[in-house]
Amino acid sequence: MPRTPWPCLVRASLLTLISLLSACIDSQGIVPQAERLQPARLDPGAALRQAEREAAWPQERWWQAYGDAQLDAWMARALAASPSLGMAAARVRQARALAGVVESAEAPQLDLEASVQRKRWPDDYFYGPGVLGRTSSWNNTTQLGFSYDLDLWGRERSRSRQAIDQARQAVAEARLAALELQGNLVRSYIQLALRHAEADIARASLAQQQALLRLAQRRLRDGIGTRLEVSRAEAPLAESHRRIDALHEAIVLNQHQIAVLAGQGPGAGEALQRPTLSLQRQPGLPTQLPLELLGHRPDLQARRWQVAAAARGIEVAKASFYPNVNLLAGLGSNATQGGLLDFLHYDKLAYNVGPALSLPLYDGGRRRGELGVASADYDLAVQQYNQSLLQALQQVADALVRQQSLAQQAQLAAEAVAAAQRTHELALLAQQRGLTGFDEVLQTQPLLFARQLTQQQVRAAQLSAQADLLLALGAGVQPQPGAPSEADLAPGEPRLRFLPQP
């Protein structure tokens, strides 16, 4: 018997009708406008172009380069007990759970509803007509429902991938929070070391001033000095005591800050001893510095996942322009005016099964608005990525320039200290030979103390600059597995199985 062409014609007509109706709402003219910067085309600057050293990469425990066991111990406490890292971890768990919620929409849905009610009918012809008045009966229902979204246009898949990308973004942001904590702790620790050095110099300066005062008092007793000399020698003492007290306060505050960063109470910082930091060899940088290494930075990783998630958002918004087809099924029973278990009888059974079509015809511009929002979100994510990339390049370049400058400053500061030390030693030699008085020796010490203070400040700046460079390079953080590809970062079209684009 020849096969009739009518079923094929009906299906073709139905598909054509759906295509024409779906064109009533179109997405024409709504496209992203932002373009991501290509790192290879950016000029990294002279500092980076000249960074042709032995290729190396910071260690994951980069702070161990300072050679201070106490710093290592407090960093371990911070990474284990910091509230900021705990909050970041909670945000990661939250994002992963939300991704699971979104992903569940791709699976078939099955639910059961049951109701067992004892009902009394009123003696009222409107609410309880006829013989039902003033009687009671069971009114029981059960319903087993099944639904499955065929997801012909990939909307639910795009939503799931978007949620997964957002979870990966949260992971990268958690790593960024860890780096920020490490950087803050190391900088506070360096400041603690500097405050101790400043306190030493302040106490030495006070001792020199007290020696000058004793000398002026002895000269007054011997009748070769004046009260003016004694008054001049007494004048700076109060300020020196104040300076020492202020430095002691700064040391205690630094201890409190380190303790809180480590997730401890402020009192725990009182156990901190004087730091023993050392400035070791700077980390080597490969010739191809800018983007082979900067891609390790958690902030850039987070921005790339944000761009990928925004691209998925555009796919979700575009898929809403197409018809939605669900498979629906239901199995249940209804029993009124019977016994408690009558709804279990076969003759009370009811079922339904079949597809359901939802076709957008007119929505007042809602879908176009949603697509516009998704496109703008993508543009915003791209521009944030571009800004983060430029800032990353600037931070590395600035850190290299600062290190080069501080190395020169450290050399000059050492020469200045050596010159002041020679002046002090010559004055001491002249005093020993009877050519000058001891006051000449004491007068050379303030210059020496000032030069030593500058040297300690430059050294602390070098330690901080080393931390800044290591952090700017990502501090040994490795890229997340499954990093977004170029296709993931670009908004794509939903996968249509048989309908053309509107």
What is the full DSSP assignment across 428-444? HHHHHTTSS-HHHHHHT
Helices (H) then strands (E): counts for the chain: 13, 4
The two structure tokens encoding residue 428? 């001491």
Residue 138: enclosing H or E segment and its boundaries?
Answer: strand 136-149
**E strands, 297-392, in order:** 324-338, 349-358
Type and span of the H or E element at 142: strand 136-149
- Angle value at C-alpha 292, between 289 and 298, nearest 5 degrees: 105
Give the predicted TM-score (pTM) of the model. Answer: 0.78
Show the low-confidence residues of the chain (pLDDT under 50).
Answer: 1, 10, 46-56, 281, 283-288, 290, 494-502
Stretch (H or E) spanning 391: helix 366-432
The C-alpha atoms of residue 57 and residue 293 are separated, in whole angstroms, by 8
What pLDDT, on the 0 to 100 scale, is given for residue 335? 72
Non-local (6+) Cβ contacts of 365 within 8 A are none
Q: Please name the amino acid found at residue 420.
A: A
Instruction: List the structure tokens of 460.
Output: 């602390």
| Complete DSSP assignment for 308-335 | HHHHHHHHHHHHTTS-EEEEEEEEEEEE
Report pLDDT for 278. 76
Three-state SS at 482:
coil
φ/ψ of residue 159, rounded to 5: -60, -40
How high is the pLDDT of residue 77? Answer: 93
The pLDDT, as a whole number, for residue 290 is 45
Q: What is the per-residue pLDDT for 86?
A: 92
Cα atoms in the Cβ-side hemisphere of radius 13 Å centred on 480? 25
- Domains of the chain with CATH codes: 29-100+156-322+366-489 (1.20.1600.10)
The number of C-alpha atoms within 13 Å of 168 and in the hemisphere containing its C-beta is 21
